[in-house]
Structures are given as structure tokens and as C-alpha cells.
Amino acid sequence: GENVEQHPSTLSVQEGDSAVIKCTYSDSASNYFPWYKQELGKRPQLIIDIRSNVGEKKDQRIAVTLNKTAKHFSLHITETQPEDSAVYFCAAGSGSARQLTFGSGTQLTVLP
Amino acid sequence: NAGVMQNPRHLVRRRGQEARLRCSPMKGHSHVYWYRQLPEEGLKFMVYLQKENIIDESGMPKERFSAEFPKEGPSILRIQQVVRGDSAAYFCASSPPSGGGRNEQFFGPGTRLTVL
């Protein structure tokens, strides 16, 4: 089955700096890669996703890149703000299997 | 359009009791997934269901756990004879019908189960 590894497990940045979180996956059949943000005690919320037919996707301060050959994808947050502080999860899935395999999460702290 | 709904939000059970967790998917969604999250850990897939069918239960323990998604009503995750190790947050997610590669999953608020 699919295995998703996520790094780093914790990340602290100064407000205004950029944050990068990286994930690798093992199953070459995976073709859907969402990122979720989870605040303490809250539900995971989908913030951006990318499919395997594109290499990069951007939405305001958030971007995701995908390297299918190397089987890794990354989340980039620019101009970080204190409200970006949360746990971020990457995941991988395929159109046929539909279930998502999640990474172990990154606790992002944006220091004011 | 209401989001994914789960109830109860908090559930306390004693060892040996049964826990029933309910999930109503978003309107128009026909796929339901259950995930378990232990404190400070990631989400672990348990089971994927469509109406009246279990599609994939590879992540669900063989003993004591069962899930259903009847033709009418919410999906239910049932844990029999709960043990302390079952204490966790259980999240339900739903996604639109198949087609076009659309498999975005939207999560409910979770049920936090505490076993005393």
C-alpha cells in the first residue's frame, strides 16, 4: 500500500518569512495530493490540492509543487502570518482507490 | 449547503460498552470515509463506504469495529466492547460521486471518544 512521509515534524518561522513542508510517497499509482490544515481541536480543512497532470498550483500565498519522477510534493506558504499556525497534513490518493494516506503532520508555528 | 456533520461531538464510554458514531455527508456526496486520529498523530484510514456498500475496510480492525452507510440515514461507525486504546478522535469525510477524478474529501468536526 501507499506510504507517505512528511518533514519536518515541527517548523517555526518568523512572521513574514516563508515556510516549506515536504512529503514523499511510494505508490506510483497515486495521482491526487491534497494538503490539509488542522487547528487545535478542529477538523482538517482542505487548503490546496494538486493532481498528477500538473507540476505546480498556486492560490494566493499558498503553492504546491509535485515531482512525479521523484515521488515528492511540497507545500509553500509565503508571507506567513500568525493565523497560519496549525498542523499541516499532506496526503496521497488515487482515483480508483479514493482513500487517502496521510503524512504524520507538521506543526507550523509563526512567531510574531 | 451544510457541511459534513458528525454526532456526538464528545462521547464518554466505560470499558466494555458500545460506542456509536454518526456521520451525515455533505449534500450530494455519496462517498463516506472514516479516519481515526490519536493525540498528536496523523489521520489513519479505517473504512470507505458508498450507500449500502463497504468499498474498502482495509484500515479497520477485524474485531469489535463495524461500519455501515444505509440507504436512508447517516453512516454509523460502531465500536463494541470498547477498550482504553480506542480513545481517539474519529473523523468522517465525504466526497462527490465518482467521475472526472474528483475525490476531494471534506471532513466533519469529529467525535472525540474517551474510554474510561
Per-residue pLDDT of chain A (112 residues; tens, 9 = 90+): 889 999 999 999 999 999 999 999 999 989 999 999 999 989 999 999 998 888 899 999 999 999 999 999 999 999 999 999 999 999 998 766 578 999 999 999 999 8
Round the average pLDDT of chain B to a whole number and report it: 92
pLDDT band at B55 (very low <50, low <70, confident <90, very high): very high
Residue A94: name the closest of B61, B56, B70 by CA: B56
Residue A97: what pLDDT?
59
Cell 507550523 belongs to A108
Residue B108 and residue A103: Cβ atoms within 8 Å?
no
**B51 or A63, which is more confident?**
A63
Q: What is the pLDDT of residue B99?
A: 56
User: A83 is written with which cell numbers?
Assistant: 493565523
What confidence score (pLDDT) does residue B101 get? Answer: 56
Q: Which residues of A touch B44 (CB under 8 A)?
A: 102
Element (H, E) at A56: strand A56-59
State whether B42 and A89 contact (CB < 8 Å).
Answer: yes
Q: Do B104 and A46 touch (CB under 8 A)?
A: yes
Distance from CA of B85 to the nearest CA of A (A): 19
Is B91 in contact with A44 (Cβ distance < 8 A)?
Answer: yes
> Which residue among A6, A98, A101 places its CB closest to the CB of B103?
A98
Specify whether the CB–CB gap between A38 and A15 falls below 8 A: no
> What is the SS3 assignment for A49?
strand
Mean pLDDT confidence for B81-91: 96
pLDDT attached to residue A74: 98
Q: B42 vs A34: CB contact, 8 Å cut-off?
A: no
Nearest by CB to residue A102, choosing from B42, B56, B103, is: B42
Measure in Å the smallest separation between the Cα of B28 and chain A Cα atoms. 17
Q: Which residues of B touch A100 (CB under 8 A)?
A: 33, 43, 45, 105
Residues in chain B within 8 Å Cβ distance of A93: 103
Please give the residue of chain B at the shortest CA–CA distance from A48.
B104
pLDDT at A65: 96
Nearest to A47 by CA among A65, A31, A35: A35
Average pLDDT over residues B5-31: 95
pLDDT band for position B25 (50/70/90)? very high
For residue B1, the model assigns a pLDDT of 56
Identify the pLDDT of residue B39: 82
With a pLDDT cut of 90, the percent of chain B lying above it is 78
pLDDT confidence of residue A4 = 95
What is the band of B100 on the pLDDT scale with cuts at 50, 70, 90? Answer: low
- Report the pLDDT averaged over residues B66-81: 96
